[in-house]
Structure 1
Amino acid sequence: MKEQDDFTSLVGSIYATAVDPSGFAELLALADSRLAEDSSRRRFEALLSDFEDHVLRAEALLAALPEAGQQAHDGAEHCPRFRINRQGRIFAPNLLACELLGLVEGQSLDRLELSADTLGAVQRFSRGQSQHAPVLRLMRRDTGKPILLRCEALEDGEGVQCLAVDIPWHAGAEMAMRALYGLTPSENAVLGLLVEGHSPQEAAHLRGRSVETIRQQIKAIFVKTHTSGLQDLLHLGRVVSVSSPQLDRATAVAGQTSELRLPDGRVLSYRQIGDPSGRPVIFLHGCLGGNQLPRAAEVELYRLGLRWIAPARPWHGGSCGWPGLLSHPENYGEDLAALADHLDLNEVTLVGYDAGAILACCAGEKLGSRLHKTFALAITPPMCSLRDFAAAPTQQRILALAARTSLPLLRYLSILGDRKLRLEGQSAFAQTVFRDAPADLEACRDPEVLELMWQGHFFHVGAGNDSFINDCRLIASEWRPRVTEHPAPLVFLHGREDRIVPLPRARSFAEELKANLIVVKGAGHSLPFSHWQAVLAALYP
């Protein structure tokens, strides 16, 4: 424990005196001595290596096991299903039956609030005393609407199986309606509510729209689907829902990582998720969280019909470095144009986060007429004056000053910071990175957000610390002159509670670039992870 305290103290002392040039050499020598002579540290690193080997073996074993999503399912798994034994108790309810109907294994049939006639019919049918299969009418917990279930006798004669007649509206049905009839995400959402039993008035209330708006959307759906009225449309919607494969979560988030060999020989690694035939969005990640989003956000990309393409920026992930990028960030547009050519993209929405937002602002011009719109999330404006440095939080100020004045110090800070994070582990990550940012600390209380941040760290430094070092140099550089007039609208999204880049700085910079500013309430610097709904809503309202 003493060694850990000494190491933490050492890192803290370097951070605290980073602006004192006279102390640099002494501190670096002290750090070299401590790290070189610390036999406990060497033992820790050896144990870490052994642990990582065990993790790799465990992952290999887990990968060889069949996942639940890989097992064969019939259509019944896409609708509520359960069984009733001859004693009148529920058994083997599937997940949808539990979620939508609130069923519990072993629950008495009497708890379903069925009429006496229906209860009697089920009991007679389950005992083979009647050949007429009853129909159950149960209420959904999420919508309060009825769902009908048919009954069929089990082959062993020990009861009945109940299956929903209609499959609940799902992402696969939305994709089918978009592909077959060209429905927009908003029209699909309205159709889904209608199919699940809501009236136009209820749909308007649930979607926060006027009844007239919903009626106009329904009329547009009539035209696109060539249906003659509401009943005709509902019949079509139910048939499509039944016949379309349902996308489970495992399928929806199965991203594909590929590589592109650029003309100069460098490798550009990129990840694709969402709808392969959807509207292309290129996402330039930041210094935090890697190039992934929360699972629910990645599933939502399917529903919205978005093809999310996330390249690993130079020095990150599997992409090669590019030294010339630091002095000419606008040239990254050549990589983006090559990627767009490779994927045959005719129109692109460009989204950048943190350091990636800098590249989005500088490089978007290279996409020319293909650029539909640019979004900059939690952008860090250039630090051009002492006032800018003074306004930055302590950690960012120290790193920016090191980037401007001493590359050796910046390299040492990055190495020691990485080792500190690894030593203290995931549980201390948020406090180390977001120490003075309450909104971001709150966001990291979500285990998934914290996991994304933690795994993202290794995505960023997996090939070494050059990614962190060069991001610091980019952020601290005077990159503003590299931003030319954009061929498409520029939009800033910024968290009201961002402590790393306070909102007034972002607002002033948005005015300078003539960008529209959208302020996200409650969000900090971890905006695309904690408030991804606001990001996707801004992309396609």
Structure 2
Amino acid sequence: MFADNFTNTDVKNNILTYPLDHKQQTENRLIDSIYDAAIDPQKYDELLLLWEDEFFVTPTRETSQQVDGAIENHIRRAHKILSLTNPQQNEPPRIEQLVDADPLPTLILSRDQIVTLANQVAQNLFGVKIGKKLPHNAFSADDILKIKHYLTHLNKHKSDRVLAIIQPQNEEGQATYLFALSKIDDVNSRRSLLQISVVNTVWNETVGKTIQTTFALTDAEIDLAKRYVAGEKLADIAFAKGRSINTVKTQSKSLFRKTKLKSQSELIRLFSALQQFAQQENNGRNNALHLEEPVGLNSSYQHFIGRAYINRMNGRKLYYETYGDPDGEPVLYLHGVISGTKFTHEIMDLFRAQKIKLIAPHRAGFGKSDPHFEQREEGFVEDVRAVLVAEQVDKFKVVGQFAGAYYAFILGAALPERILKMRLINSHAPIESKNQLSKIMGRPLRTLVYTARYIPQLLPFLLSNMDVQVRKNGGRYSMNKYYRESAFDYELCQDAEIGEVVIDGFLSCYAQGNKFVTQQVKNLYQKDWSHLIADCPVPIELYHSTKDISVPLWVMQDLAKKHHQLKLTIVEGGQLILYKYPKTILADL
């Protein structure tokens, strides 16, 4: 009898206390993981797993869920620790990020001629290795002397100014790229370094008129100057103008005599200096257009037309890039949250072949564009209007990727009479059900979306941790982690050029801390924006993949059935189908 009573009591106690103990143990593991991830970003994956186990429930209705007050307090404390131990969130991007994201050959030298940084394009072009001395055969003997001279006298020069122009030759003795030498200051290492990068200049009519008036140049001579600034060689100019080389040589002598210059390099330096001065003079004038990084000259990057910025209200700068044919049909490109405004050579060639001028603005807070003081959808539309005015565009088409679709729908409702059509690639869609959310493939994105939707008060901690992940571990680490559950996308990312393009998106979205990502996540996931699709009367072509990691195909199929203006084309693959099938995705744009 005693034994029976003991056994029953023991079993009863275990039944009553085990669930409580197990719940407490789970919560303790989560709390430990929250602090671990705040101190060591490498433990973020473990946090996501425990986070999902703790918070992901199946609600009876689409409402916010309650979180244990003690756990929420721990998360707030951990977020404060994360902020204190990683105070660089609002600092500008590091030099490493800028070099890695540049589509043109760029390398950085220390005073002892050691290559401290070089993007993949520069490594391939010059045969240089990071941490090694600059090879003597990378440039001519005269150019090497120039490089050594400016390395020796770096302290005497101002930063971010063109010090000299050099033009290396290939094995056949032909001139290739034009390169600029400039001084940059690395605030992290507190060193002055020498940057060697492709000269970026396009003709600015205002500067051109100044040069023509100042030096009394004829129309033929100013046309010749324009071609020299564009990096054209003597033989190419003669062929384009239908003149003999001797005739062009005679005109060139007159041009250089009047300007008191000796070479094409000096002419480019003069033009660049006047262009920089013009930018400084215009600084502060709202909507004034500044050409910051125009065309990559004489290179395989010839279809990158340039980068410019516009001064907006309250001193904000709005940046954008242009690609393709300078005189082509205008197409506005809307990037996603982690998809940037850079493209592969193949895609840039397609823009040119289709006679398209692609205009790719950085949304406020993304990349180099300053954030809005008040994040408003109207502010995005106003920024687009400013870009269209600067580029003298009336009617245009739209291409959007991923979260860029959300802004495409906003634009379609605001400017329906000006948009001819839209093409949206693996478009995001409004979250209308818990089932839709559960089908998101990658745990990082699924956790982020769920938290934004149902427990938004915990979102800042996750986003801050992701920000630290990108800044501490780099874009490649973040890219591989993001796409590791999609074999299609992960394999594409291992291609050097595609990988650089994708990495640029990761670096650009966190370039100014996590404020941009926070706002994007709120727009996309904290509210139902189905009405934006209904309010957009523009014809829309959807290209959606069978295995997109963000939006299941069936969601887009349902949307296409609901809205008559949507036409769906299904493409086999994952999220990055644009880079796998660019000819298909961009056909007949």
1:336 to 367, 384, 388: 384
Match of 1:537 in 2: 587
> Is residue 72 of structure 2 the alignment partner of residue 21 of structure 1?
no
Contact residue 301 and residue 345 of structure 2 kept, 8 A = no
* Counterparts of 2:302 and 2:512, CA distance in 1: 29
Q: CA deviation at 1:426?
A: 4.7
C-alpha displacement at 1:315, in angstroms? 1.6
Q: TM-score, normalised by structure 2?
A: 0.54
- Alignment map for 1:37-186 (pairs within 5 Å): 59=108, 71=167
Q: Identify which of 519, 525, 530 aligns with 2:570.
A: 519
- Indicate yes or no: 2:348 matched with 1:348: no
For 1:314 and 1:33, locate their aligned partners in 2 and report how far apart those are by CA, in whole Å: 26
**Separation in 2, partners of 1:438, 1:517:** 24
Deviation per residue, 1:447-498 (Å, 9 max, x gap) = 2222222222111111110111111111112112133544531111111221
Give, in angstroms, the shift of residue 345 of structure 1.
0.9
Partner of 2:507: 458
Q: Where do 1:461-540 residues align within 5 Å?
A: 461-476=510-525, 477-514=527-564, 515-522=566-573, 524-539=574-589
What's 2:209 paired with? none
Q: TM-score, normalised by structure 1?
A: 0.58
**Contact 1:507 1:517 survives alignment (8 Å):** yes
CA apart distance, 1:437: 2.0
Q: CA deviation at 1:538?
A: 4.6
Match of 1:396 in 2: 445
SS in 2 for 1:443: helix
Q: Percent identity?
A: 22
SS in 2 for 1:467: helix
Task: Give the C-alpha shift of residue 321 in structure 1.
Answer: 2.7
Is the 1:317–1:463 contact (alpha carbons within 8 Å) kept by the matching residues of 2? yes
Question: Structure 1: 5+ residue runs without aligned partners?
Answer: 43-47, 78-90, 96-175, 181-245
Contact 2:82 2:465 (8 Å CA) reproduced: no
Matched with 2:46 is 9
Q: 3-state DSSP class of the match of 1:287?
A: coil
Shift of 1:424: 4.1
What residue in structure 2 maps to residue 374 of structure 1?
422
Tell me the SS of whatever aligns to 1:537.
coil
Q: Who is 2:362 aligned against?
A: 312
Q: Distance in 2 between matches of 1:343 and 1:264?
A: 22
The change in CA–CA distance for 1:463 and 1:32 in structure 2 (over 3 A counts) is closer
Alignment of 1:191-206 (within 5 A): none
Q: What is the rounded CA distance, in whole Å, between the counterparts of 1:488 and 1:447 in structure 2?
A: 37
SS at match of 1:59: strand
Counterpart of 2:72, as a letter, is A
Q: Distance in 1 between matches of 2:369 and 2:560?
A: 30
In 2, the alpha carbon distance for the partners of 1:50 and 1:299 equals 28
Q: How has the CA–CA distance of structure 1 residues 342 and 392 changed in structure 2, closer, same or farther, with 3 Å as cutoff?
A: same
CA contact (8 A) 1:280 1:348 kept: yes
Residue of structure 1 in register with 2:29 after alignment? none
Report how many aligned residue pairs link the two structures. 368
Shift of 1:445: 2.1
Taking structure 1 as reference, are residues 70 and 299 closer, same or farther at Cα in structure 2, changes over 3 Å only? Answer: farther
Asked if structure 1 preserves the Cα contact closer than 8 Å seen for 2:431 and 2:528, the reply is yes
Tell me the residue number matched to 1:31.
Answer: 78
User: Which residue identity does 1:436 align to in structure 2?
Assistant: E
Question: How far apart are the structure 2 equivalents of 1:291 and 1:386?
Answer: 32
CA distance in 2: counterparts of 1:374 and 1:325, whole angstroms: 24
Deviation at residue 268 of structure 1 after TM alignment: 2.1
Q: Contact between 2:422 and 2:539, CA under 8 Å: does it hold in 1?
A: yes
